[in-house]
Protein backbone atom coordinates (compact mmCIF):
# COMPACT_ATOMS: atom_id res chain seq x y z
CA UNK A 1 0.00 0.00 0.00
CA UNK A 2 1.32 3.39 -0.85
CA UNK A 3 0.77 6.47 1.28
CA UNK A 4 -0.77 9.60 -0.17
CA UNK A 5 -0.82 13.00 1.51
CA UNK A 6 -3.95 14.92 0.53
CA UNK A 7 -3.21 18.51 -0.48
CA UNK A 8 -6.80 19.58 -0.79
CA UNK A 9 -10.30 18.28 -1.12
CA UNK A 10 -10.89 16.19 -4.23
CA UNK A 11 -7.22 15.76 -5.16
CA UNK A 12 -7.24 11.98 -4.77
CA UNK A 13 -7.47 10.48 -8.26
CA UNK A 14 -11.01 9.48 -9.18
CA UNK A 15 -9.89 6.04 -10.34
CA UNK A 16 -8.55 5.16 -6.88
CA UNK A 17 -10.54 4.59 -3.73
CA UNK A 18 -8.87 6.17 -0.72
CA UNK A 19 -9.20 5.03 2.88
CA UNK A 20 -8.28 7.16 5.88
CA UNK A 21 -6.14 5.40 8.48
CA UNK A 22 -4.67 6.82 11.72
CA UNK A 23 -2.65 9.73 10.32
CA UNK A 24 -2.21 9.00 6.63
CA UNK A 25 -4.36 8.39 3.61
CA UNK A 26 -3.64 5.06 1.89
CA UNK A 27 -4.84 3.70 -1.44
CA UNK A 28 -6.73 0.41 -1.29
CA UNK A 29 -5.44 -2.46 -3.39
CA UNK A 30 -8.36 -2.34 -5.81
CA UNK A 31 -9.99 -0.01 -8.27
CA UNK A 32 -13.72 -0.01 -9.03
CA UNK A 33 -14.72 -1.87 -12.17
CA UNK A 34 -16.53 1.21 -13.51
CA UNK A 35 -13.26 3.17 -13.32
CA UNK A 36 -11.40 0.44 -15.21
CA UNK A 37 -14.09 0.51 -17.93
CA UNK A 38 -13.78 4.31 -18.18
CA UNK A 39 -9.99 4.11 -18.53
CA UNK A 40 -10.19 1.36 -21.15
CA UNK A 41 -12.87 3.26 -23.09
CA UNK A 42 -10.77 6.45 -23.06
CA UNK A 43 -7.69 4.59 -24.29
CA UNK A 44 -9.60 2.75 -27.04
CA UNK A 45 -11.22 6.04 -28.14
CA UNK A 46 -7.75 7.58 -28.61
CA UNK A 47 -6.67 4.56 -30.68
CA UNK A 48 -9.87 4.74 -32.74
CA UNK A 49 -9.35 8.48 -33.35
CA UNK A 50 -5.88 7.61 -34.67
CA UNK A 51 -7.45 5.09 -37.08
CA UNK A 52 -5.70 2.14 -35.43
CA UNK A 53 -8.81 0.17 -34.42
CA UNK A 54 -12.58 0.24 -34.05
CA UNK A 55 -14.39 -0.44 -30.79
CA UNK A 56 -17.81 -0.30 -29.15
CA UNK A 57 -18.95 -0.49 -25.54
CA UNK A 58 -21.41 -3.35 -25.04
CA UNK A 59 -24.17 -3.24 -22.42
CA UNK A 60 -26.52 -6.04 -21.46
CA UNK A 61 -30.07 -6.01 -20.11
CA UNK A 62 -32.98 -3.76 -21.02
CA UNK A 63 -33.71 -0.05 -20.84
CA UNK A 64 -36.93 1.93 -20.99
CA UNK A 65 -36.79 4.79 -23.49
CA UNK A 66 -39.24 7.61 -22.75
CA UNK A 67 -40.25 10.04 -25.50
CA UNK A 68 -43.06 12.33 -24.40
CA UNK A 69 -46.00 10.15 -23.37
CA UNK A 70 -44.70 6.97 -25.00
CA UNK A 71 -42.39 4.41 -23.41
CA UNK A 72 -40.48 1.69 -25.23
CA UNK A 73 -38.54 -1.23 -23.83
CA UNK A 74 -35.24 -1.71 -25.65
CA UNK A 75 -33.36 -4.98 -25.31
CA UNK A 76 -29.57 -4.67 -25.20
CA UNK A 77 -26.94 -7.42 -25.44
CA UNK A 78 -27.60 -10.79 -23.74
CA UNK A 79 -26.35 -11.33 -20.18
CA UNK A 80 -22.68 -12.30 -20.00
CA UNK A 81 -21.61 -10.28 -23.03
CA UNK A 82 -18.13 -8.73 -22.68
CA UNK A 83 -17.70 -5.03 -21.90
CA UNK A 84 -16.00 -4.09 -25.20
CA UNK A 85 -15.70 -5.36 -28.74
CA UNK A 86 -12.59 -4.30 -30.67
CA UNK A 87 -11.72 -4.85 -34.32
CA UNK A 88 -7.99 -4.44 -34.86
CA UNK A 89 -5.79 -4.70 -37.96
CA UNK A 90 -3.25 -7.48 -38.36
CA UNK A 91 -0.30 -5.41 -37.10
CA UNK A 92 -1.79 -5.20 -33.63
CA UNK A 93 -1.37 -8.22 -31.33
CA UNK A 94 0.70 -10.03 -34.01
CA UNK A 95 -2.13 -12.01 -35.54
CA UNK A 96 -4.56 -11.69 -38.41
CA UNK A 97 -7.32 -9.08 -38.18
CA UNK A 98 -9.63 -10.34 -35.49
CA UNK A 99 -12.54 -9.46 -33.33
CA UNK A 100 -11.39 -9.01 -29.74
CA UNK A 101 -13.67 -8.99 -26.70
CA UNK A 102 -12.50 -7.31 -23.49
CA UNK A 103 -14.05 -8.02 -20.09
CA UNK A 104 -13.06 -5.63 -17.28
CA UNK A 105 -12.73 -7.00 -13.75
CA UNK A 106 -11.48 -5.60 -10.45
CA UNK A 107 -8.09 -6.74 -9.15
CA UNK A 108 -9.63 -7.81 -5.87
CA UNK A 109 -12.63 -10.13 -6.08
CA UNK A 110 -13.37 -9.67 -9.78
CA UNK A 111 -14.82 -13.02 -10.84
CA UNK A 112 -16.63 -13.98 -14.04
CA UNK A 113 -20.29 -14.92 -13.77
CA UNK A 114 -21.44 -18.26 -15.27
CA UNK A 115 -22.98 -16.29 -18.19
CA UNK A 116 -19.66 -14.55 -18.83
CA UNK A 117 -17.83 -17.89 -18.85
CA UNK A 118 -20.35 -19.21 -21.39
CA UNK A 119 -19.86 -16.11 -23.55
CA UNK A 120 -16.06 -16.52 -23.38
CA UNK A 121 -16.35 -20.16 -24.52
CA UNK A 122 -18.65 -19.15 -27.40
CA UNK A 123 -16.32 -16.35 -28.52
CA UNK A 124 -13.28 -18.63 -28.49
CA UNK A 125 -15.22 -21.31 -30.38
CA UNK A 126 -15.87 -18.67 -33.08
CA UNK A 127 -12.08 -18.05 -33.35
CA UNK A 128 -12.29 -14.62 -31.73
CA UNK A 129 -10.10 -13.39 -28.89
CA UNK A 130 -11.33 -12.82 -25.34
CA UNK A 131 -9.29 -11.13 -22.63
CA UNK A 132 -10.04 -10.31 -19.01
CA UNK A 133 -8.37 -7.00 -18.15
CA UNK A 134 -7.88 -5.65 -14.65
CA UNK A 135 -6.06 -2.44 -15.51
CA UNK A 136 -5.88 0.01 -18.42
CA UNK A 137 -2.14 -0.63 -18.67
CA UNK A 138 -2.88 -4.27 -19.64
CA UNK A 139 -4.82 -3.02 -22.67
CA UNK A 140 -2.06 -0.55 -23.51
CA UNK A 141 0.54 -3.35 -23.51
CA UNK A 142 -1.78 -5.50 -25.60
CA UNK A 143 -1.83 -2.83 -28.30
CA UNK A 144 1.89 -2.06 -28.13
CA UNK A 145 1.94 1.05 -25.94
Task: Locate the domains of the chain by residue range.
Answer: 1-30, 32-142
The ranges of the chain with pLDDT < 50 are: 1-28
We find that the CATH architecture of domain 32-142 is 3-Layer(aba) Sandwich (3.40)
> Is this structure's pTM higher than 0.75?
no
Considering the chain, what percentage of its residues have pLDDT values greater than 70? Answer: 73
Three-state SS sequence of 106-133:
CCCCCCCCHHHHHHHHHHHHCCCEEEEE
Amino acid sequence: MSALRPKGRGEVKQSLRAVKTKHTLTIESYVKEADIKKGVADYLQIKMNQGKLWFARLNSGEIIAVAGESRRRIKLCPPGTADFIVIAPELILNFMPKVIFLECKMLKGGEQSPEQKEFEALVKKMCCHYFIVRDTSEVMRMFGD
